[in-house]
């Protein structure tokens, strides 16, 4: 799903999709438990069905329950959302986006995290990116 498609959702639909993306899969009760100021069970169930009809979700049946999953590959959705954010808030500059993340006062990187990022930078350099 493109980020533009995600932006076309209403507030409550976005909240539901955010729960599904965070969890990877969820039942109606699990979605309901994570929504701020949640509506009724039947309202959430109806919205999940509508999101499925619109092509945002799919479901699997586990016993008597439906478990809802993103219809699109979460990695692709994440990449599209990140591209949109970098374009919108950082003038298309990945460097500025990374710098902003590293400058956040509540973020600390472990030695392992720093090593991983260093390896990614080296790989990008080798690939001419």
pLDDT per position as a tens digit, 39-80: 999 999 999 999 999 999 999 999 999 999 999 877 877 787
CB-neighbour burial class of residue 48 (10 A; exposed 0-12, middle 13-18, buried 19+): buried
- Look-up: residue for tokens 């990022």? 117
Using DSSP's 3-state secondary structure scheme, residue 55 falls into: coil
Residue-wise pLDDT tens digits, 4-13: 555 578 999 9
Q: What is the pTM of this model?
A: 0.64
**Residues 8, 29: Cα–Cα separation, whole Å:** 25
Query: Torsion-angle region of residue 36: left (phi > 0), alpha (psi -120 to 50) or beta?
Result: beta
**Residues 84, 1: Cα–Cα separation, whole Å:** 12
For the chain, list the domains and their CATH numbers.
3-70 (1.10.10.10), 93-129 (no CATH)
């Amino acid at each position: 799903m493109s980020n533009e498609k995600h932006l076309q959702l209403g507030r409550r639909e976005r909240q539901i999709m955010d729960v599904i993306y965070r969890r990877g899969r969820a039942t109606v009760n699990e979605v309901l438990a994570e929504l701020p100021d949640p509506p009724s069970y039947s309202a959430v169930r109806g919205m999940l069905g509508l999101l499925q009809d619109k092509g945002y979700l799919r479901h699997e049946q586990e016993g008597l329950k439906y478990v809802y999953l993103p219809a699109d590959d979460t990695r692709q959705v994440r990449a599209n959302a990140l591209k949109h954010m970098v374009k919108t808030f950082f003038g298309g500059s990945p460097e500025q986006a990374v710098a902003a993340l590293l400058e956040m006062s509540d973020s600390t990187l472990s030695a392992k995290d720093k090593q991983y990022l260093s390896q990614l930078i080296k790989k990008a350099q080798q690939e001419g990116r």
